[in-house]
Amino acid sequence: MSGDITRGWGSSRLIKGSICQTELDVTSSTTFVNIPNMIHKLLGGMKYIIRGHVTGTSGSSGGAKLAIAGDGVLTASQFTATALNYNGTTLNAVSTTTTLGNAIGAATAVFTDFFFEGSIIVTKPGLLSVQLAQNVSNGTATSALVGSTVEFIATV
């Protein structure tokens, strides 16, 4: 996936896009885990739009939370992300963070979809990943399913 996206106020270039091809199951853990194939290297001195959709499932007692996290090498002068957590058409939670690795869209409820969007200005290059965890530790798996997507769009 790549190409120019032109808007009236400028242009952008999709530089990274991926689709999760391996299901991730998190059981009895509130520790964030990288969603397979949703990890990308971002370049220093660049500005990116981040957006994606995690489709999944969870039990009502464990729920789910999402994070966009750096690898400990990547640094940013600006970061913001918002996630909406849904069970079908019912909104479970919506939240915003300005700190890499913080939970967004956390809810102790059955989830089917996370929609997220954000932006980052990278000062030191490194890896950025989309992560999933249970909101409350529970024996019923919280899962990110095959077909979940993420895009990183470099802005001009």
pLDDT (tens digit per residue) in 35-52? 999 999 999 999 999 999
Q: Where in the chain does DSSP place strands (E)?
A: 3-7, 10-19, 24-26, 33-42, 46-57, 64-70, 75-87, 90-97, 104-107, 113-124, 126-133, 142-144, 149-155
The structure's pTM equals 0.90
Share of the chain above pLDDT 70, in %: 90
pLDDT confidence of 88, banded at 50, 70, 90? very high
99-138 pLDDT per residue, tens: 999 999 999 999 999 999 999 999 999 999 999 999 999 9
**Which architecture characterizes domain 24-150 according to CATH?**
Sandwich (2.60)
Domains of the chain, residue spans: 24-150
pLDDT of residue 7: 46
* Token pair belonging to 62: 């464990």
